[in-house]
Amino acid sequence: DVKVTQSSRYLVKRTGEKVFLECVQDMDHENMFWYRQDPGLGLRLIYFSYDVKMKEKGDIPEGYSVSREKKERFSLILESASTNQTSMYLCASSLGWEISPGAKNIQYFGAGTRLSVL
Amino acid sequence: QKEVEQDPGPLSVPEGAIVSLNCTYSNSAFQYFMWYRQYSRKGPELLMYTYSSGNKEDGRFTAQVDKSSKYISLFIRDSQPSDSATYLCAMSNTGFQKLVFGTGTRLLVSP
């Protein structure tokens, strides 16, 4: 079974703190994603990575950065946490890009990290 | 206007009922359509995916895509209390590179 592990289930931080959210996948997947999930807004893509040290901005990258030094690990960084970054953060991974549909590109999600910024 | 619209519910049904969950979308370039199920305090898990128009069946679940109407549906037959969850539709226009999600419909199946 694919396993995507997020380091913390719940996190409470103060405004202005630097926050690291860690995600590890154990299936040698090429691609990794960070989303945030908010009531009424659904899942929104923050950043994604299709290879080690490669990253692409998603729909809402402002206030966030990412790091992918190793294939299995994708970190989301909040440089200076703000209250509007209070949210559920979800990490996902997929095997790789493919033009035709197939299991290769299914995104597998972690359990999520609920972050509160006070 | 959102690219993908989904009624948030909650949708309450008795056990054994047939459930219909729906999404509409505006981007005619979407070709890949997915349904994810998310239990409380868990991450989403893929239920079904389809390419272009048509139906796909997997056990009690049927996914239907009508590209002419920009409308997708998920049907659940013989619904069970264990089906109580939030159902998210998602879609993409280039494989699974980037997914656009609906906001999710919360389903409650009572015994």
Pairwise CB contact (< 8 Å): B96 & A40: no
The one-letter amino acid at A28? D
The candidate with the shortest Cα–Cα distance to B21, out of B3, B32, B31, B6, is B6
Predicted local distance difference test score (pLDDT) of residue A115: 97
Pairwise CB contact (< 8 Å): B95 & A112: no
Predicted local distance difference test score (pLDDT) of residue A102: 55
Predicted local distance difference test score (pLDDT) of residue A2: 67
**B80 contacts B15 by C-beta, under 8 angstroms:** yes
| DSSP, res A110 | -
pLDDT in tens, chain B (111 residues): 788 999 888 999 999 999 999 999 999 988 889 999 999 988 999 999 888 778 999 999 999 999 999 999 999 999 999 999 999 999 887 655 678 899 999 999 999
Predicted local distance difference test score (pLDDT) of residue A117: 97
Which tens digit of pLDDT belongs to each residue from A52-110?
A: 888 999 999 999 999 999 999 999 999 999 999 999 999 999 887 665 555 566 788 99
Predicted local distance difference test score (pLDDT) of residue A44: 92
**CA dihedral of residues A106, A56, B38, A14 (deg, nearest 10):** 150
Predicted local distance difference test score (pLDDT) of residue B97: 64
The candidate with the shortest Cα–Cα distance to A21, out of A118, A103, A102, A111, is A111
Which residues on A lie below 8 Å from B4 (Cβ)? 42
Q: Which residues of B lie closer than 8 Å to A, measured between beta carbons? A: 4, 6, 8, 32, 36, 41-46, 49, 51, 88, 90, 94-99, 101-104
Which tens digit of pLDDT belongs to each residue from A17-27?
A: 999 999 999 98
Q: Which residue has the tokens 């590109």?
A: A105
Nearest CA in chain B to A5: B43
A58 shares contact with chain B (CB less than 8 Å): yes
Distance in angstroms (rounded) separating the CA atoms of residues B32 and B26: 14
Task: Return the structure tokens found at A68.
Answer: 């992918």
The candidate with the shortest Cα–Cα distance to A23, out of A79, A84, A71, is A71
Pairwise CB contact (< 8 Å): A106 & B32: no
CB burial string A22-39: b at 16+ within 10 A, e below:
ebbbeeebbbbbbbbbee
Predicted local distance difference test score (pLDDT) of residue B31: 85
Predicted local distance difference test score (pLDDT) of residue B70: 94
